[in-house]
Amino acid sequence: MQPDGFQMSWLLLALDWLIRLVALLWIPTRTTPGAARSWLLLVGFVPLLGLPLYLLMGHPWLSARRVRRQAQVSRRIRRQQALQHEQRWIPDDDTVAAEIVPLVERQGDFMPTHGNAVELLDDYHGALRALIDDIDGAAERVHLLYYLMFDDAVGEAMVAALERASARGVRCRVLLDAVGAKRGLRRYRRRLRSAGVDVQAMMPGGLRWRRSGRMDLRNHRKIALVDGRVGHVGSQNLAGPDFIAGFPNRELVARVKGPVVAHLEAVFTSDWYVETGQALEVLSTPASTVADVAAQLLPSGPAYPFANARDAVNALIHLARRELVLVTPYFVPDEATLAALRIAALSGVRVQLVLSASNNQRLTWWAQQSYYDELLRAGVRIALHQPHFLHAKHLRVDDELALVGSINVDIRSFALNAEIGLLAYDAGLVAQLRTIEQDYLAHALQLDLAQWRRRPAWQRSREGIARLADALM
């Protein structure tokens, strides 16, 4: 006997509330309170859609095989560094570096080293030319690890450089994120492989995601290595500055030499092993350079036991004594980061956020704006850079320390993406970064609290609603 419409309505109502109850009991035990709030709100409004979405994307799980492989390479990295005492840099007592070094090393595996040279590349096309020139000078190997590669003029130039290198007998390996570099992989994978370049896609999408982890986990790192002697790390992808129409990017890349290059190569070989199961015996120890910059790597991602990027960024904010400058294109902080910024400003630290006046992700932009009022009230300065989409990501603490890399200040960078940061403990390099920041600010609008509060009520409502979805971004 088929149930009538009345009975069917009651069955649907019961299922609706059953889903809500199960979500209420289950979701908070598997994720952070902030993320649980967003998911429970979605399930509460649309249970039949919210629960399946949570099952697909709610918990940042990674396959046991990937977690096990990361643990294996972490142990290997630590064993190798234990034999390299002469390269370890020891910070002075009572400094920001002395406080942050142990945290970064315990979470991300890498000790700080001295004897490095670090060059900051602020010119988009200049940074690409420097990378291609380094590849053209390669004699042994080229390793590229990038989130995004486009099928544009930059993609063509990079592929041509790899083809030239491979033709000279240079061993070339390329790791590209399967989603971020989808267009580049589709266009160039077969061509590169036919030239002898080993190309691998990271974190594949489609049905294969079940063997990798949560389907929206991504490898967001940008690393290039040539012969184990020079490395590039930063925010810039393998694409032209206008690969998103209307949002020409401005980036920052660090070109490095010295012992830290071997550590960058260890990150590459770790990701290669986690993705393919193939262990590359290419780790080297470049000699110290004429320069003597102390540097340390901060890798992070869901394969690590802790949220390395989030913890390090929050610790650095708390450690600032006089000045903190934070540059990021995507600013959707969790409660701990928001509180850290507010406390720093109220404690007398000059806190300056430099964000982009335009944004290619509308929901993120709206959510980002919802934090401005609270931060401005606490004394945080917020500048909106106008000429470009400011995609650079870096942080400066006083005159002591700079963090440059791929890390955004949002839940995606803190919990979902594999990221990389380079910490430089050097007053000269920090002064260079300050000069770059001043140029950002010369082309930026400083927000005024009174003026900001005059925005329409509908805009404030839109921002508040978008903020509720912070865990879904």
Q: Are residues 287 and 159 in the same domain?
A: yes
8-17, 109-118, 255-264, 360-369: the lowest-pLDDT one: 8-17
* Last residue of one domain, picked from the residues 227, 261, 293: 293
Six token digits for residue 203: 């974190």
Q: Give a yes or no: residue 398 inside a domain.
A: yes
Residue 331 C-alpha from the chain's centroid: 12
pLDDT at 250: 95
Q: Give a yes or no: residue 299 inside a domain.
A: no
Residue 81 C-alpha from the chain's centroid: 25
Q: Are residues 75 and 35 in the same domain?
A: no
Six token digits for residue 192: 């590169």
Q: Percentage of residues in the chain with pLDDT exceeding 70?
A: 93
Q: Give a yes or no: residue 136 inside a domain.
A: yes
Region 196-214 average pLDDT = 76
Give the type of residue at 66: R
Q: Are residues 48 and 68 in the same domain?
A: no
Q: Give a yes or no: residue 396 inside a domain.
A: yes
The mean predicted confidence, pLDDT, of the chain is 90
pLDDT for 211 beyond 70: no
Distance CA 247, CA 438 (A): 21
Q: What's 124's domain CATH number?
A: 3.30.870.10
Helices (H) and strands (E) in the chain, counts: 17, 20
Helix or strand run (H / E) with residue 457: helix 457-468
Kindly list the distances between the CA atom of residue 324 and the CA atoms of 147, 169, 340, 341, in Å, as whole numbers in the listed order. 28, 47, 11, 9
Q: Give a yes or no: residue 406 inside a domain.
A: yes
Quick one: residue 246, left, alpha or beta (phi over 0 = left, psi -120 to 50 = alpha)?
Answer: left
pLDDT for 360 beyond 90: no
Collect all residues with Cβ–Cβ distance below 8 Å to 253 and sequence separation of at least 6. Answer: 120, 121, 127, 222, 232, 233, 234, 235, 236
Q: Are residues 438 and 312 in the same domain?
A: yes
Q: Are residues 180 and 288 in the same domain?
A: yes
pLDDT at 182: 95
pLDDT digits (tens, 9 = 90+) for 23-37: 777 777 777 776 777
- At residue 230 the predicted structure's pLDDT band, cuts being 50, 70 and 90, is very high
Q: Give a yes or no: residue 108 inside a domain.
A: no
Region 411-433 average pLDDT = 95
- For strand 253-257 and strand 230-234, is the pairing parallel, antiparallel, or unpaired? antiparallel
Q: How many domains does the chain have?
A: 3
Q: Are residues 42 and 74 in the same domain?
A: no
Which residue segment(s) compose the domain that 248 sits in?
64-99+113-293
- At residue 75 the predicted structure's pLDDT band, cuts being 50, 70 and 90, is very high
pLDDT digits (tens, 9 = 90+) for 285-343: 565 666 899 999 999 999 999 999 999 999 999 999 999 999 999 999 999 999 999 99
- φ, ψ dihedrals at 332, nearest 5°: -130, 80
Q: Are residues 91 and 31 in the same domain?
A: no
Asked if 220 and 301 count as a contact pair (C-beta separation under 8 A), the reply is no
pLDDT at 85: 85
Asked if 117 and 289 count as a contact pair (C-beta separation under 8 A), the reply is yes
- According to DSSP, the residues that pair with 119 across neighbouring strands are 255
Q: Are residues 316 and 265 in the same domain?
A: no
pLDDT for 120 beyond 70: yes
Q: Are residues 52 and 157 in the same domain?
A: no
Q: Are residues 365 and 403 in the same domain?
A: yes
Q: Give a yes or no: residue 75 inside a domain.
A: yes
Distance CA 177, CA 232 (A): 17
- For strand 198-202 and strand 171-177, is the pairing parallel, antiparallel, or unpaired? parallel
Region 153-179 average pLDDT = 97
Q: Are residues 176 and 271 in the same domain?
A: yes
* Last residue of one domain, picked from the residues 236, 258, 293: 293
- At residue 57 the predicted structure's pLDDT band, cuts being 50, 70 and 90, is low
Residue 83 C-alpha from the chain's centroid: 30
pLDDT at 282: 65
Region 165-182 average pLDDT = 97
Asked if 374 and 348 count as a contact pair (C-beta separation under 8 A), the reply is no
pLDDT at 467: 85
pLDDT at 3: 53
pLDDT at 28: 75
Q: Give a yes or no: residue 49 inside a domain.
A: yes
Q: Are residues 137 and 274 in the same domain?
A: yes
- For strand 394-397 and strand 417-425, is the pairing parallel, antiparallel, or unpaired? unpaired
Helix or strand run (H / E) with residue 385: strand 381-385
pLDDT for 413 beyond 90: yes
